Every structure is written in C-alpha cells, then in structure tokens.
Homo-oligomer: A and B are copies of this chain.
C-alpha cells in the first residue's frame, strides 16, 4: 500500500491527478491510498480520495499533522498563482516558499526518526516562470533561472531547496517546470495568460472570447492531460538518471496565437473563430512579452516525458476530456 499526498489537491491539476489515480492507479500500481489537501474542494464531481482535508498550508501545525502520516509520494502543487503572488509580495512568499521549507524540515525530522528508512518521493510543480528574458530562440536545459516575477523567484527557490534536500538524501525530489496549461477548463480567469485558453474554450462552447495580444505572439503550451502525465511519470522516474539536476523543463508545444486559431478553425470551423474579438491590451502585451516562447527540453524528452506535438491535439484533448466528445 503506497500512501500518496497531493498538496493542492483541490485545484484543477490536483483534481485531474486525483481522478487519474483513482481510475488507473499510479503508474499501474493500484495499491494506493490518496489524501488530498487544499484550502477547499470542488462541490461538484470532486475526485475520489481516502481523505480530503481542507486547511491552510501556511499553518505549520496543520502541515506537520498531514505529513505525520509519512506519505510515500508527495505531489506538491499548492501555490498562490502568479498574478496574486505579484500583487501581494508577502503572501506569495508566505504561501509559495515558507511551507515548502517547513515540509522539507518535517521530512528531514521523519527521516532521522526512521533512521533513514523513510525517504519520500516529492514531485514539485515548478513553472517556466523561473525564466526571464532576454531569451535565446529555444531555451535549452542549461539556461539560467532569472525570474522576472515573485512567483517565478519562489518556484526557483523551492527547486533549489528540494534539490539540496534530495542531494542530502532525506527526500527524493524532482521539480517539473510546467508549460502554460492549455486549454484550461472552467470559467475565464483574470490571469494574464488566461486568453490562451479563453480563445479556444469559449468559442467551442459557443461563447465570445477576447484576444488582447497580436496573433504573432508565440508561447509554450501543454494540455492538462499532459500535466497529469508529467506528474505520474515524475513520481515513477529513476531519479539517479537526473545526475543531480533535479529541475526539469517539461516538453510542450511552441506555437503562435495564429496557430491556435488555425487549429480551432480546422476543428470547429469559421463560426467558432468569429467569436474571437480583438481587443489589444498593452498591459497584457507587456507582461506576455516577458514570457518564454520556445524550449528544447532534451533531457525531459530523453527521460520519457511526453507532450502534444500540435495545437489541434490540444484542442481535441479539451473536447474529449471536458466536453464529452461533443
């Protein structure tokens, strides 16, 4: 029986991961027990789990109590999103860094209490926000982390802490730097990156969507299904193959907004495309200009991580997974 803990298990990716684990086990292992921790959980269609614990990750006693179960695998997905971390510096660091450090300290104590027998796998969701421009045409696996947001800095700090803890041997960690997840289900949100999903999801549902940037804008995408695939693959990976570099750029698809719209046209027709309204927003344009556009994720690909190879595929996954093949 393997105990699995998902920190941030109430969020979009956490819920999809929990659904996946309930349906297919962890890399084929069905002898698992899943605990979800988050501030709250969906009231509709929540993923099955042995326990669903609502609480505040910044409360040290709460986090310690959850870790006292000694989970074998910890998926750490909990964080304040990029926009909020940027607006509220103190909250961003308090949520995105401090509990990560506290978790590692608790796991070190558990390792010592177990005389080295307890070494959990920790899969931490980092982000391409650890990067900042100027960029090469394709960001390779040796490009520096020079984040231009607090969110990116917090993710980069957590990666370094997890790598050092892993090098010392009391956890077995891996940080996966996720592309922008497209097509994000749910309602349009105010994240600066929201339009990348909105311009596909809303027209597919017969609704209007706003495009605030030029169609020439290039970005780095992977589907929610790929995100879950990355997480479970990372949980099963032989981390010896990482040779001490435990933060990995995940594969993804580099395409322009025009490419996205072409995919929508091929799959849903010109009527869908006509629902996209151009409303240039210089503020969003400026933010997006600072984001990475393309990667050469050679190490992750060699280690077996896989993402989509066309935006058509990403659109079809959204239709299959969210719209019931409609």
Shortest distance from the beta carbon of A249 to any chain B beta carbon, whole Å = 10
The residue in chain B whose Cβ has the minimal distance to the Cβ of A104 is B93
* B-facing residues in A225-280 (Cβ within 8 Å): 244-245, 247
Q: Please name all residues of chain B whose beta carbon is closer than 8 Å to the beta carbon of A161 when the two chains form the complex.
A: 153, 157
The residue in chain B whose Cβ has the minimal distance to the Cβ of A155 is B160
Cα A248 to Cα B196 in complex, Å, equals 35
Known A-B contacts A157-B157, A160-B156; the reply to A148 vs B89 at CB < 8 A is no
A160 touches B144 (CB 8 A): no
B168 touches A147 (CB 8 A): no
Cα A148 to Cα B242 in complex, Å, equals 13
Shortest distance from the beta carbon of A161 to any chain B beta carbon, whole Å = 7
Known A-B contacts A89-B168, A157-B157, A168-B89; the reply to A146 vs B163 at CB < 8 A is yes
Cα A245 to Cα B136 in complex, Å, equals 15
Cα A245 to Cα B146 in complex, Å, equals 6
Q: Please name all residues of chain B whose beta carbon is closer than 8 Å to the beta carbon of A153 when the two chains form the complex.
A: 160-161, 163-164
Q: Please name all residues of chain B whose beta carbon is closer than 8 Å to the beta carbon of A160 when the two chains form the complex.
A: 145, 147, 153, 156-157, 160
The yes or no answer to A132 lying at the interface (CB within 8 A) is yes
Known A-B contacts A132-B244, A244-B132; the reply to A164 vs B146 at CB < 8 A is no
B143 touches A244 (CB 8 A): no
| Chain A interface residues (CB < 8 Å from chain B) | 89, 108, 132, 136, 141-148, 150, 153, 156-157, 160-161, 163-164, 167-168, 244-245, 247
